[in-house]
Amino acid sequence: MASRVEILNEGGYRSDGRRQFELRTIDIDLSQQGHADGAAVITHGLAHVMVSVFGPREAKMRSQTIHDRANINVEVAVAAFSTGDRRKRSRGDKRILEFAATIKSTFEPVIQTSLYPRSQIDIFVQVIQQDGGLLQACINGTTLALMNAGIPMLDFVCAVNGGVHSTSPLLDLTLLEENDVPNLTIAVMPKTRKVSLVTMETRLHVDRFEEIFRLATEAGLAIHGEMKGAILGRSKSLMGSIELGSQQRSGNTAADAMDDDD
């Protein structure tokens, strides 16, 4: 079947001007959001997601308590204005529940839940704008929010999607591309290079799978560099604030001592 849109032109450029393997611009904001223990706002191009993490804290319901590890609770909400069709999705929407379950199963082996028995870690994902790569943005935002909350993890989880147009592999798909080409999402842990998630919603020929899998894994490592830089920047900022506060307290103490001498 012929493509409805020009995914890749004769010059090798995509509809948004990127090359085949070129990733969209990533923007990360780790500043505190409300009362959350950790938060992250991430954009991949126009895809925009905010993640808030609360806990570890006491489970609200006894049925959610696990005696030897923390229970991970994931809730996903999609803003009505996040997509062009303005379709309102409730928390009970099947697609939303699938997203939440996928995020939970991706992070359960990575979070060191055994350190927090009989507790709960709540992850709230808010989709602000959709433009392809929604699952990758949710996973990357969750990694950053968990780290910002100081929750011990075995590794980063870095996700990226990819697809194949004709015989040409593409990385980091927009919504336009996702709707038109077979695609998958991969989440990789950079330290061990273990893959924590592979999900496909469309059929992809087995001959193409290996190549796009390898390219997406390499792209995940590139995204890791961006995420690690943001975490280090946040850590330095917090350390600077602590040192400044300590210096100010020391200065006040010295001033008080001088006043007492007088």
What is the domain-level CATH number for residue 207? Answer: 3.30.230.70
Tell me: the pLDDT tens digits for 160-204?
999 999 889 999 999 999 999 999 999 999 999 999 999 987 888
71: left (phi > 0), else alpha (psi -120 to 50), else beta?
beta
Asked whether residue 213 is assigned to any structural domain, the reply reads yes
Does any domain span residue 108?
yes
Confidence of residue 250 (pLDDT cuts 50, 70, 90): low
In the 8-state DSSP scheme, what is residue 262? -
3-state SS, residue 196: strand
Domain presence at residue 254: no
Indicate whether 88 belongs to any domain.
Answer: yes
Number of folded domains in the chain? 1
d(CA 185, CA 187): 7
Is 184 domain-assigned? yes
Instruction: Render pLDDT for 124-149 as a digit per residue (tens, 0 to 9).
Output: 999 999 999 999 999 999 999 999 99
User: Could you read off the pLDDT of 114-127 as tens digits, one per residue?
Assistant: 999 999 999 999 99
Q: State pLDDT tens for residues 204-239.
A: 888 889 999 999 999 999 999 999 999 999 989 888
Would 261 be classed as within a structural domain?
no
Residue 195 neighbours by CB under 8 Å, 6+ apart? 186, 187, 188, 189, 217
For 40-67, what is each residue's pLDDT tens digit?
999 999 999 999 999 999 988 888 889 9
pLDDT for res 202? 82
Question: What strands lie across the sheet with 119-129, from one edge to the other?
Answer: 26-29, 38-44, 47-58, 119-129, 71-78
Instruction: Answer whether residue 19 is part of any domain.
Output: no
Is residue 18 domain-resident? no
Q: Is the pTM of this model over 0.85?
A: yes
Domain that holds residue 158: 26-244
What confidence tier does 260 reach under pLDDT thresholds 50, 70, 90?
low
Helix axes 134-148, 206-261, angle to 10 degrees: 30
Q: Give me the residue label for tokens 């989880």.
A: 157
